[in-house]
Structure 1
Amino acid sequence: MAHEDFPPLAALFQVVFDQKVGYTIAWKRSLSDADLGGIEYKCLPSGLHSVESDLVYFIQGQRHVGISAFAQEEADSQHRNARFCAIGALVPSAHGKLGRCWLHAAALKQLARQLVGNSDDKTALESYWKKFQETNEQGAEHDRHGSRKDGIRNTRWSESQHGLKLDAEGVADHPALYMPALLDCFGPLIFPLCRASLLRKRILMLGSPPVQRNCSMVYIASILSSLTRAACEVLPADTEPLARTDSLFSVGIADMPLLSETSSRAGWIATTTDDILGEKQQLWDVLVELTPRERGSEERWPRLRTSDGRVIQATQRDLRRYRLLRGELRRMREARTRFRDSVEQDRQQSGDDDQTPLVRSATLLKDSEGNQELRGNEDEVVEPVSWAALAYNGFMWWASAGEEDVSAMEESEADRELLSDLPDVQSVMEDSSSRAANGEHDEAEEELIDSQEVATVLTAFFHRITGLIVGTLADIVAEADDETEVGIEEDVIDISAEDVKKMGLDIWSERDREFVEEAVRLYFGRGAKVQGGERLRICGVKVC
């Protein structure tokens, strides 16, 4: 990758543990506008000693984002049996949500490994600083972009578009690479998580290291819940700050004043390893407890709850959508593998060949249609089917003489439509095909392609869901205003169960109805009431 592709450094520093004074900055170089106050605590979150290496993203003031590479090695008892250090850097926030600081990750990790056992030699640090330090011209360009808030506003469109292009170099540390892991971790809970972020709640993810994984989940959740330009165009002009939630990445106890003072309409998403922040309900609206997998135990789902103690679950429609999404991703992976098999076979000599595989790998990868079960404990993360839904579905089955529910078919078709016509996925497939034809595929390349596919599909899928919700609500508000006298707004806008269904939400879920009403207040400044859904009427008679 070319030198100019890397974001310039506003600061470079080394943090170590001194037995007399604790965490301390052992070496630093910085520009005059770079604030290094408290940086040593941001570089070394609680619990980091439990891993051999890690990568931490954080926000430092209004102008910079930070990245820190941590490494440790065994030592004698004089050093408490471990010696560690962190090599960190600050980059201007005007270069993007993370300032593309992840491009420096590989070099910082190498420096950390090199210096953890030889902290006296600063030659490599000096060399890296001289190579990438921000010049006066770059600083002037940063000033033209303005503060971090202005930088976010200028880049929110480019970062939130469907095709999150993953560069071949440095891809191992790109946050979008964790999209497959996010989908596996949250399962159907990814839908209520994104809805909470769409309402611009203050969301705190509480989990143990590795911190890089948790910070990447913050980044991805922010991307998935951002508004596209088309969605913003149908909203009132004063809602521009709501286009995307703020990502604070890693926070700790020292950031409690910042969290308590933050009153942005856009809300925020952050992650922490400090349990005490999870006990401070006044700091957050939604707490996401990321449960680590213990050796020999089953994997557990994250736990989402509100500050008033209510547990957040996925709806039945979320579950159906999740299975549809996983099925589409599996189909794409099989198609790519099948094509690669055919290319490899064409390269071989015609006729019988002992080297030709009898069973194609695409066949081995293919799952049966019925193998779409979750990993277990579904009742913990998905709302049970309501009595009203059971009664309605039973009545419709009886009334249709056992034929397939037309409403369910329409719902499934609408969800599939959200996954259609993804041009960026096609470009990934074409690139994969050309590389396969040249015999250039390896395991790392395959992982890159798979991650880019998942990133593209997930981003497009959730942006289309968001566009559908915002567009439908905008039409409802406009129609309600058209039906009233000029200059007079309706106090409370009625939203039908059919409107809720059109938005891709669950008409039987109380939390989805609350979501719709709150979204109208947030984005349109109007009151709303969802009609129906919670009560079933057949021929005008309330059944349940």
Structure 2
Amino acid sequence: MSVCAIVDAMFEAREGYQIKRIFPDNVSLEGIEYSLFPSGIQQLDRCMVAFRFRNQLCLSVYRKKLGEYYERNAYFSSIGILLEDVNMSVEEAAAKYLNLLDFVSKAIVSPSSLKDPENVLQFVYHDFQKAIQSSYNAGEPLEEYQQGLQSAVIEQDFSAILSIFNTREQLTYDSFSPSLVRHYYSLIDNWLGPVFLILYKCLMQKKRILLVSSPSEEIYSIMDSMTRLTSVSGEENRVLPNPLCKFYSVGLTDIDILENSNQESGWIASTTDSVLLSKSSLYDVAFIWPTNPLSKPGPPKIQLSNGYSLKHSYEDLLNSRLISDKFDPRIASTSKFTNYSIGAIIHIILFNSTRFHLVQSLVSTNQTNLFAAFPRYNQFLLNLLNQHHDSIGISDMRNFGWNPFRQLDRDFVFNVAQFWVHKHVHYRYPSYAYLMQPTAWGVHSLLLFFSIWKRSVPTMLIYLLLLKWWYS
């Protein structure tokens, strides 16, 4: 049995948060009512909330109560389910239970005048019927299943509703299905852009990460997709998940849980309470989207706990575009060529310090799916770090796919070695290393300027040869 409990909670302006009913009634879930509702409920008509309660994944659907009386008295309802499988992702839970949970929630909050079989069928069952027919895979006939579900929600028989939820266990979930992968690609492109590489580095370093935005189901999917990117392919191609904890939705009532979590394993959590940003000791880095519900998705701002902001580099931008070219041409063909892209191309000509071995390493895994390529790359990275005794050089950093002259990339490799391989490494740089990049910039610029000014073909050929050597 995956669904072990179902909760019906309410918020009323005069009474506050309350639990109306729990099934089984001998389960103690004190305090769960605060997590079942999103922040800013007065601005939302419907919202899905995912969170962890005592290390159990919970899924709830919040709705504003229908009817004029309830509008005047600010009455809100939320129906939640608790899942026993602690390793289940929100994507898997949503695929199995969200349509059914949404239907149960809509039926329960309906005005009493609608709670007869005919009105329930017309008002809340019609939209759900197609979804149930396409995904139904229970042992009993479909017609009996529909009748039992309809009767259960009309009578609010939570025992029967819980049994119906657990018939969904037989639904298969394919974590590498083409539709889910396309969904993940579009989320990375629309919600993260080149910032996804910074989030990837933070996850690999097991930092404490806050995702701050308006209530959005897409944020949960971003958490699932990015933790898949930071998994590691083990023996026999078995994927070992990142041990970093996913708390999903958190609020002010969860501060103690976040502060007392294992600092070494790190965590990632989403929140709508921007007040958490003021507690600098709580998190390491925050990714902040506009909190206006009408705002369009886009790359978030990045804020460190010390108040400083962090921006992606031109190399992150170029790597993300090349990754899109290799793994998702649909995204690359529709993305616009911005001023940042033009600046990035100038940057690659002048500096070209990474030489894009990150993308080459991903392609060398022989995987066409990005979510299979990254775990293999992660294993490649850990293997190389494990082979090096105590130091790495410029060529090693370039083989990893990161810029040896960028402090953030050096910290990334150092922390990955420390947290994943349990060893300390130092950088073996020659004394002239930090002169290489500005010297190359000066030589490139001088040759290019002279060849254009004098219209010198030999100088242009020398410049092109130097450029070819710098790319090699």
Q: Find the counterpart in structure 1 of residue 416 from structure 2.
A: 519
* Conservation of the 8 A alpha-carbon contact between 2:62 and 2:77: yes
Matched, 1:96 2:108: no
Pairing partner for 2:110 from 107, 111, 117: 117
Shift of 1:232: 11
Q: Find the counterpart in structure 1 of residue 14 from structure 2.
A: 20
- Rounded Cα–Cα distance in structure 2 between residues aligned with 1:232 and 1:165: 14
Q: Number of residues paired by the alignment?
A: 394
- Rounded Cα–Cα distance in structure 1 between residues aligned with 2:399 and 2:25: 53
Shift of 1:294: 7.2
* Conservation of the 8 A alpha-carbon contact between 1:465 and 1:503: no
1:248-303 Cα distance to aligned partner (Å, 9 max, x none): 111111111111111242211111111111211111111111225775x7764201
Q: 1:31 to 1:166 in 2, by over 3 A?
A: farther
Letter in 2 for 1:127: A
**Which structure has more RCO (C-alpha within 8 Å, separation ≥ 6)?**
1
Letter in 2 for 1:466: N
Letter in 1 for 2:160: S
Identity of aligned residues (%): 20
- Rounded Cα–Cα distance in structure 2 between residues aligned with 1:231 and 1:315: 36
Pairing partner for 2:227 from 214, 222, 228: 222
1:195-250 Cα distance to aligned partner (Å, 9 max, x none): 1111111111111112x2222222222222122225999xxxxxx9x942111111
Shift of 1:472: 1.6
- Rounded Cα–Cα distance in structure 2 between residues aligned with 1:117 and 1:221: 37
Pairing partner for 2:162 from 104, 112, 129: 129
* Conservation of the 8 A alpha-carbon contact between 1:72 and 1:113: no
- Rounded Cα–Cα distance in structure 2 between residues aligned with 1:208 and 1:378: 29
Letter in 1 for 2:219: N
Q: 1:509 to 1:379 in 2, by over 3 A?
A: farther
* Conservation of the 8 A alpha-carbon contact between 2:252 and 2:273: yes
Q: 1:8 to 1:176 in 2, by over 3 A?
A: farther
Shift of 1:107: 0.8
Q: 1:130 to 1:415 in 2, by over 3 A?
A: closer
Q: 1:534 to 1:312 in 2, by over 3 A?
A: farther
Matched, 1:200 2:99: no
- Rounded Cα–Cα distance in structure 1 between residues aligned with 2:327 and 2:99: 29
Q: 1:80 to 1:31 in 2, by over 3 A?
A: closer
Matched, 1:458 2:370: yes
Q: 1:509 to 1:218 in 2, by over 3 A?
A: same
Matched, 1:66 2:58: yes
Alignment of 1:151-166 (within 5 A): 164-166=175-177
* Conservation of the 8 A alpha-carbon contact between 2:247 and 2:267: yes
Letter in 1 for 2:54: G
Q: Find the counterpart in structure 2 of residue 536 from structure 1.
A: 435
* Conservation of the 8 A alpha-carbon contact between 2:12 and 2:76: no
Alignment of 1:291-306 (within 5 A): 291=290, 300-306=298-304
SS at 1:11 equivalent? strand
- Rounded Cα–Cα distance in structure 2 between residues aligned with 1:229 and 1:37: 40
- Rounded Cα–Cα distance in structure 1 between residues aligned with 2:419 and 2:399: 20
Give the CA RMSD over aligned residues.
Answer: 4.0
Q: 1:275 to 1:460 in 2, by over 3 A?
A: same
* Conservation of the 8 A alpha-carbon contact between 1:175 and 1:217: no
Q: 1:473 to 1:24 in 2, by over 3 A?
A: same
- Rounded Cα–Cα distance in structure 1 between residues aligned with 2:316 and 2:72: 49
1:362-388 Cα distance to aligned partner (Å, 9 max, x none): xxxx94xxx7546676799x9995xxx
1:59-79 Cα distance to aligned partner (Å, 9 max, x none): 1113x2111012225543664
Q: Find the counterpart in structure 1 of residue 266 from structure 2.
A: 267
- Rounded Cα–Cα distance in structure 2 between residues aligned with 1:31 and 1:193: 41
Q: 1:19 to 1:227 in 2, by over 3 A?
A: same
Letter in 2 for 1:84: F
Q: Find the counterpart in structure 1 of residue 143 from structure 2.
A: none
Letter in 2 for 1:218: M
- Rounded Cα–Cα distance in structure 1 between residues aligned with 2:4 and 2:160: 15
Q: 1:313 to 1:472 in 2, by over 3 A?
A: farther
Q: 1:535 to 1:207 in 2, by over 3 A?
A: same
- Rounded Cα–Cα distance in structure 2 between residues aligned with 1:52 and 1:299: 20
Moved more, 457-466 or 267-276: 457-466
SS at 1:527 equivalent? coil
SS at 2:425 equivalent? strand
- Rounded Cα–Cα distance in structure 2 between residues aligned with 1:542 and 1:165: 44
SS at 1:203 equivalent? strand
Gaps of 5+ in 2: 116-153, 444-472
* Conservation of the 8 A alpha-carbon contact between 2:362 and 2:373: no
TM-score by length of 2: 0.71
Shift of 1:84: 2.9
TM-score by length of 1: 0.63
SS at 2:434 equivalent? coil
Alignment of 1:178-197 (within 5 A): 178-197=184-203
Shift of 1:96: 2.8
- Rounded Cα–Cα distance in structure 1 between residues aligned with 2:45 and 2:207: 34
* Conservation of the 8 A alpha-carbon contact between 2:49 and 2:249: yes
Q: Find the counterpart in structure 1 of residue 320 from structure 2.
A: 322
Alignment of 1:1-400 (within 5 A): 8-30=2-24, 32=26, 34-62=27-55, 64-72=56-64, 75-76=67-68, 79-80=71-72, 83-94=75-86, 96-98=88-90, 100-102=92-94, 103-118=96-111, 122-123=155-156, 125-132=158-165, 164-166=175-177, 177-210=183-216, 212-230=217-235, 243-291=242-290, 300-331=298-329, 367=333, 373=336, 385=347
Q: 1:543 to 1:283 in 2, by over 3 A?
A: same
SS at 2:111 equivalent? coil
Q: 1:504 to 1:18 in 2, by over 3 A?
A: same
Q: Find the counterpart in structure 1 of residue 382 from structure 2.
A: 470
- Rounded Cα–Cα distance in structure 1 between residues aligned with 2:165 and 2:363: 46
- Rounded Cα–Cα distance in structure 2 between residues aligned with 1:20 and 1:116: 19
SS at 1:26 equivalent? strand
Q: 1:226 to 1:384 in 2, by over 3 A?
A: farther
Shift of 1:514: 1.5
Shift of 1:106: 0.8
Letter in 1 for 2:164: K
Shift of 1:29: 0.4
